Amino acid sequence: RKSPDLVKRVIRLEEEGYAATLGEGLKRLENVLAGAAAGTPLAGADVFQLTATYGLPLDDILEVAGDRGIGVDLESFK
């Protein structure tokens, strides 16, 4: 049987790790958006890496990119 303190500590560490990974993903999204050529959608491979490696939800990527007038190549993402 696991002690409640151990369980709480493990949960806290997991939350902190996820937050750090998500923060890194947001930085990378900013870099990808900054490097996007005018009128060119974000490459599906870049979007896939942001979702698979950094846990950024696709909907959030679409929203941030859309707010900046940048599309996403969803066909190559799939």
This prediction has a pTM of 0.75
What is the Cβ-side half-sphere exposure of residue 36, based on CA atoms within 13 angstroms? 24
- Using CA atoms, how far apart are residues 12 and 7, in angstroms rounded to an integer? 9
Per-residue pLDDT tens for 18-27? Answer: 888 888 888 9
Using only the alpha carbons of the chain, give its radius of gyration.
16
pLDDT higher at 36 or 59: 59
- Which phi and psi angles does 70 have, rounded to 5°? -115, 130
* Contact status, residue 61 vs residue 47, Cβ threshold 8 Å: yes
Per-residue pLDDT tens for 41-78? Answer: 999 999 999 999 988 999 999 999 999 999 999 999 99
